[in-house]
Amino acid sequence: MTKIIIIGAGAMGSAFTIPCIENGNDVTLIGTHLENNLIDEISKSAHPALKVTLPKKLKLEKFEKIKDFSDADLIVCAVSSLGIDWFIDQISQMGNKKLNIVLLTKGLSIEAGKLITISYKIKNELKKNGFDDASVSAIKGPCLAAGLANKMRTGTVIASENKDTSKLIQKTITTEYYSTETSEDVKGVEFCGAIKNIYSMLIGASEGLSNPSAPESIKSKYFLNTSASLIHRSISEMVKFVKYFGGNETTVYGLAGLGDLYVSAIGGRNSQMGKYLGQGTLYKEAKEKFMKDITVEGAQLALEIGPILLKELKKNEFPLMFNILETICNNKKLSINW
Ligand SMILES: NC(=O)c1ccc[n+]([C@@H]2O[C@H](COP(=O)([O-])OP(=O)(O)OC[C@H]3O[C@@H](n4cnc5c(N)ncnc54)[C@H](O)[C@@H]3O)[C@@H](O)[C@H]2O)c1
């Protein structure tokens, strides 16, 4: 039996408890400092985002308890990228210096003007606090949290530099509906998981970009031609991007790249934002008018890393990335270099 603590009781952290419990593990879900009320709520009724009641064997705790779980075999980080600094502060208080961390969060970070993965950031920050032997693995792939919570079949990639760690995680989380693959390409898997959010906005814009003067009934049906072309071009660019930052090409064609891009592009908040941008709405206006309190991870990431990428990369090598970054960061109308 593996002792698992999952930090972050949002949609994904909570859904992830389901395969973990099903495999007979000892699982505790700890809410962040923003989730004390949520922990009370889900101890009595269904999770509000998932509309699913979490398993009875699941233990629920509020964030004050985090440091008591130093002896956990796996510590799962399920906060969004905005919560990573908070997560690092919390686990830095733990007594056990050999933490085995599993990262669900998708995103990237910046250190000394350079783009880095979140797992690298966590490792580095922990080292400063004397955690020299902490391991950070990443799980990425096409996984809408409510789908996992309802045991809809999906597949995911466990990326770790250590094969034994991958095997332990695989044994712990794999179920009939949650199949797992392993990879040693942590960088590639994390870069894919983050940048697919940016490219999925572009694919979401297909309808507006297909032929603006075509009748609505035609556009709403045949924009799929445009989407397919953009998916193809996005994947080609993602390959170049991931290789540029030290990941493997093959990772992009797998679950963390193509698989996750597909899910994000056909539904979800990134492609919804893309739809507004494709219709000609400026980013700031679309956010304020239609998606004010909704987190659009792709746009958030574009704002974080855009200024660096726009300086470091060449527009002729990454035309689609430039198109979307200029649209979000400079609040310009979206146009594609076809
Ligand atoms: N690896 C996967 O298979 C997979 C699948 C789905 C989502 N995700 C990723 O998991 C992360 C969470 O997604 P979600 O759907 O659960 O989102 P959510 O909005 O439901 O939950 C967000 C979580 O982050 C925490 N959080 C937000 N801001 C914070 C802050 N400033 N300080 C501390 N904590 C903060 C919240 O309390 C909550 O626990 C995202 O990065 C998402 O991309 C991964």
pLDDT at residue 256 in the model: 98
Query: How would residue 86 be classed by pLDDT, with cut points 50, 70 and 90?
Result: very high
Distance of alpha carbon 79 from alpha carbon 122, whole angstroms: 13
Task: Say if residue 338's pLDDT is above 80.
Answer: no
Per residue in 103-126, pLDDT tens? 999 999 999 999 999 999 999 999
Ligand 1 centre to CA of 230 (Å) is 27
Regarding the beta carbon of 297 and ligand 1, being less than 6 Å apart is answered yes
Ligand 1 centre to CA of 219 (Å) is 34
Percentage, residues of the chain above pLDDT 90 = 90
pTM for the full predicted model: 0.96
Regarding the beta carbon of 104 and ligand 1, being less than 6 Å apart is answered yes
DSSP 3-state of 245? coil
Task: Delineate the domains of the chain, giving CATH numbers in brackets.
Answer: 3-184 (3.40.50.720), 188-329 (1.10.1040.10)
Asked if residues 188 and 315 have their Cβ atoms less than 8 Å apart, the reply is no
Mean pLDDT of the chain: 96
Going by CA atoms, what residue is nearest to atom 25 of ligand 1? 79
In the numeric block, which tokens belong to residue 304? 């974080």
Per residue in 6-53, pLDDT tens? 999 999 999 999 999 999 999 999 999 999 999 999 999 999 999 999
Distance of alpha carbon 253 from alpha carbon 328, whole angstroms: 26
Task: Say if residue 70's pLDDT is above 90.
Answer: no
Regarding the beta carbon of 140 and ligand 1, being less than 6 Å apart is answered yes
Query: How would residue 304 be classed by pLDDT, with cut points 50, 70 and 90?
Result: very high
Q: Over the range 239-274, which residues count as b (16 or more CB within 10 Å of their CB) and which as e? A: bebbeebebbeebbebbbbbbbbbbbbeebbbbbbb
CB count within 10 Å of CB 291 equals: 15
Distance of alpha carbon 307 from alpha carbon 302, whole angstroms: 8
Which of 35, 76, 79 maximizes ligand 1 atoms within 8 Å of its Cβ, making it the mutation to test the pocket? 79
Task: Say if residue 212's pLDDT is above 90.
Answer: no
Ligand 1 centre to CA of 224 (Å) is 30
